[in-house]
Structure 1
C-alpha cells in the first residue's frame, strides 16, 4: 500500500493509494465502497486497512487524531468513516458530532474496545454503528456493508477472500 501524507489546517492524515489487492477484490461492475479509517494504533490501523482491501473496499485515507480524521473525512467524502473513540487529541465521539454538524452524508462507525454504555453515547453523538474491536473483523465488515447496500457480491457476512493468502 502506498500513501502520501497530507497537511491541512495544522492537521495530518495519510491519503491512501488504492492497492492492487483491493482493486482485484472489488466486485465487477459495482461502485467501490469508500472508507476513511481513524485510529491511533498503527498495527490495528494497518490490519483494518488490509482487511478492507481484501474485501474490495477502498480506503481513501487514514488518520490518527480527531483533527486529522476531520480533515480526511471532509476532504475525501467517503461512504463510511471508521472511527476509534480514544484518540490522542480527543474522542471519536467528538469527531462524530463535528461531522454531523457539517451535515456531510457519511455513515459513521465507532470501532472501539469500550463496551457497556458506549453504544448509547455513540448514537447520541451521531454514530450510525457501534462495533467492538474483535480479532476477526466480522462485525466491522458487517457494519460497513449495512451502509453500502447493493455494492457487495454476498450480503451480510464478509466473504472468504479475507482468509486467503
Structure 2
C-alpha cells in the first residue's frame, strides 16, 4: 500500500531531490513547502499519512509543526530530517510523537525504510543515531574518569559543544593530527562505530553527564 506525503525543506535542492526520490518509489506527494507554516497548512488541508519535515525552517520549525499536529490530534505521522544531533532535539521529537528522525546525510539512503516503518506505526531513527540513543548515559562520571585520560575528557567535552577538530586543536594549542589521534582512541574506548560523526553524536547525547565530570 502506498502512502500520501507532504514534504517540507527550506533548501530547494534538498526539497526537489527528496520529492523526486520519494515519488519514484511510488508514494504520492500531496504538497511541498519551503517553510513550516506552509507545511502545517498543507497537513491540515490534505491530511496526509506522513509529513517529512526539515527541523530548521522559517516561521515554524519541524518540531513546532510536530507539536501542533500532536496538540490538534492530527493523524499525520511526522518524520524529521536534520543535520542536528543535539540531545534535547531527540527528547522533544519523542515527546511530540515523531515517528522518524533521520540525519540529512543519510536521508536518501534511509527515507524509504523510514516511511515503511512509519506506515506500520513503528518509530525509526537513523542507525547512526539509534545506538547512541540506546547508550545514552550508559556511563557514570566516575566510569568516564577511569576510562578516559584528562586530555581525552577535555576533547570530548569540547565536542559536546559542537567544536570541530580544528577548533579544539586551536583551543588546546596542539595539532589537528593530535586531536584526531585522541578522537580515534576515545572511539575505541567507548566502543563506538567508526564513522566520522560517531563521537560527536555521543558527546552531544551525553552533554549533561560530561558537564558533571571533573577531570582528575
TM over 0.5: yes
- Residue 74 of structure 2 is aligned to residue 94 of structure 1: no
Matches within 5 A, 1:32-71: 32-71=2-41
Give the helix-richer structure, 1 or 2. 2
TM-score under structure 2 length normalisation: 0.52
Name which structure has the greater RCO, CA cutoff 8 Å, separation 6+.
1
User: Runs of 5+ in structure 2 lacking a partner?
Assistant: 121-216
Structure 1 residue runs of 4+, over 6 Å off? none
In the alignment, what sits opposite 1:140? 111
Q: Secondary structure at the match of 1:134?
A: helix
What is the DSSP-based 3-state SS (H/G/I as helix, E as strand, rest coil) of the residue aligned with 1:98? helix
1:100-120 per-position Cα deviation (integer Å, ceiling 9, x unaligned): 111111111011111131322
**Range with bigger deviation, 139-148 or 43-52:** 139-148
Give the Cα–Cα distance (whole angstroms) in 1 for the partners of residues 101 and 107 of structure 2: 16
Q: CA deviation at 1:136?
A: 5.9
CA distance in 1 between counterparts of 2:5 and 2:56 reads 19
Gaps of 5+ in 1: 1-30, 150-165
**Pairwise CA distance, 1:126:** 2.8
What is the alpha-carbon distance in structure 2 between the residues aligned to residue 114 and residue 55 of structure 1? 26
Aligned length: 119
Q: TM-score, normalised by structure 1?
A: 0.67
